[in-house]
Amino acid sequence: MKALLLTATLTPYPTDCSHLSAPHVSGAKVLSINATERWNYSVPATPPFLFSPVQGLNICDVTVLLTHTGALHRQVTVKVWLPLQDWNGKFQANGGSGYAAGELDLTLGPTVKEGYSSASTDAGVGLNPLSPEAWALNKDGSVDFDALIDFSYRSVHDMAIVGKELTRQFYGTKPKYSYWNGCSTGGRQGMVAAQRYPDLFDGILVGAPAINWAKYVVAEQWPQVVMQQEQTFLSACELKFFSDAAINACDEMDGVKDGIITDPENCSYDPFQSVGQVIQCDGHCITITNSSATVIRKTLYGPLDPFGRQLWYGLNPGAPLDSLVNSTTNLNGTRVGNSFFVNDQWIRYFLARDPNYNTTQIDYDTFLDFFWQSYTEYDGIIGTDDADLSSFNHHGGKLLMWQGLSDQLIFPGGTINYRDRVEHRMGGANRTNDFFRLFLAPGVDHCAVGTTVGATPDDPFLELANWVEQGQAPETIPATVNDGTEAKRIICAYPQVATYCGGDTKSATSYKCV
């Protein structure tokens, strides 16, 4: 069905939406395809300021429903938006967040506004980023592995094939360049493409990638386990105190006092330095205790096995702590743990397989069991940390990855470890830099939202496009401190670090990569 609304100032694209036909998707069956022309279409803003409103879109809005052999009970939605005017000749697919494989209109709108044809998918699991409740378990309580496979990787392939084929049909030519753009879950999906489907995209932008999922998601529960074992549940005020104390201790290591720890790996702040200090929290005087310092130290170090060996990475000093070391006050006025939704839901649905399981009561032994259960049962499906990118490199793909060093959800240590393993596998830093570059942003929180005090990358996608289309490999990415000062910085390609070399501390020209 075609809904057409024209104004005197607009000229429609010569191709008719209704002439699009079902694309061929290997391993899948297309159930339906519906296309609608939309003129002067708007996508509203969504809180909390994750997506700005987009207006004045002129698009062919296509919805494709498909299913897979052996999983006919599941229907996957792929949405493709095709500009009716001023297509730039390129295609861009967008990723999701949390437990949602895509944001549909919310990411399609900004992408099409830039002239791209674009695609997004629900992977057949719906659009709820906060919980997999609707799809994780079968009626008998077993894990729905078909749904998990769609969420983990299969939907990335299907969306790209559908999006690129409909682009070819509509404009009569293949897109000159194809891109992936995503952060967090969207970043993990980008790495799915690079590892499993290396010929799908010419350029992949990956922010704070949720790779190592089977390990890092359980590791996110570690601070809650420590608080439960210590019977010490810190308030938001106390957590901010510890983050600020680390920043105060290590801020000026780089010669600039700006509230940013440039090199958290070499920050020697020890939470026990603050034991006995009295602070003001909500009008009350609170004394920092050994138990409080223990919670923070173990959070920064990361989860341990019974022999004291590190199972996974911890948070960096100075990073916000309010997501993973979170607590709340119950009806009795008692402070208790409050698990972050990603790890809480993963443990409930995929490990305990009990939606009512209480994750705040996990002890050290149970944590260890869950950690290895998660890795053993799910790493092969959702791990997404294969260091062999030789096929992606062979196809000429470019991968630009970035992450904030104050990310409090996806541990930067895991991302750095992945880059180091790729270097080892691919034959060194120089060969790896030919197609894969990592940029680490000091003081920046998860996907540059939340508590970010550092300089946020201005436009990493532009840097990727210049690399793919002009052969200009980025040595630095321009960045801005969004604290009202609009100070300019640079973010350097790993392992280099932007180092102050004199002059105006708010000018990018005062820094060089060392």
* Residue 134, CA atoms < 13 Å, CB-side half-sphere: 14
All residues at 6 or more sequence positions from 273 whose CB lies less than 8 Å from its CB, including other chains: 245, 249
| Three-class DSSP category at 434 | coil
Q: What are phi and psi of 341, to 5 degrees?
A: -65, -35
Going by C-alpha positions, the residue among 44, 123, 112 that lies closest to residue 82 is 112
Please state, in angstroms and rounded to a whole number, the distance separating the CA atoms of residues 223 and 68.
Answer: 40
Active-site residue flag, 322 = no
Other C-beta atoms lying within 10 Å of the C-beta of residue 254: 18
Q: Are strands 203-207 and 398-404 parallel, antiparallel or unpaired?
A: parallel
Amino acid at 328: T
d(CA 34, CA 507): 51
3-state secondary structure (DSSP) of residue 403? strand
Q: d(Cα 183, Cα 223) in Å, to the nearest integer?
A: 24
Pinpoint the alpha helices (H) of 235-363.
236-250, 290-301, 341-346
446 belongs to the catalytic site: yes
Give Dmax over CA atoms of the chain in angstroms: 74
**98 — alpha (psi -120 to 50), left (phi > 0) or beta?**
left
CB 276 within 8 A of CB 287: yes
Let me know if 157 is a catalytic residue: no
d(CA 60, CA 84): 6
Tell me the CA distances in angstroms from 340 to 125, 219, 264, 355, one per residue in order: 21, 11, 24, 15
Please say whether the beta carbons of 441 and 460 come within 8 A.
no
Which amino acid is located at 341 in the chain? F
158, 344, 407, 445: the catalytic one is 407
386 in Cβ contact with 195 (< 8 Å): yes
- How far apart (Å, rounded) are the C-alpha atoms in residues 120 and 180? 11
- For the beta carbon of residue 342, count every other beta carbon within 10 angstroms: 27
Question: Which among 184, 339, 374, 510 is annotated as catalytic?
Answer: 184
Can you say whether residue 463 is alpha, beta or left, with left for phi > 0 and alpha for psi between -120 and 50 degrees?
A: alpha
Which residue among 68, 120, 446, 510 is the active-site one?
446
Active site residues: 184, 407, 446
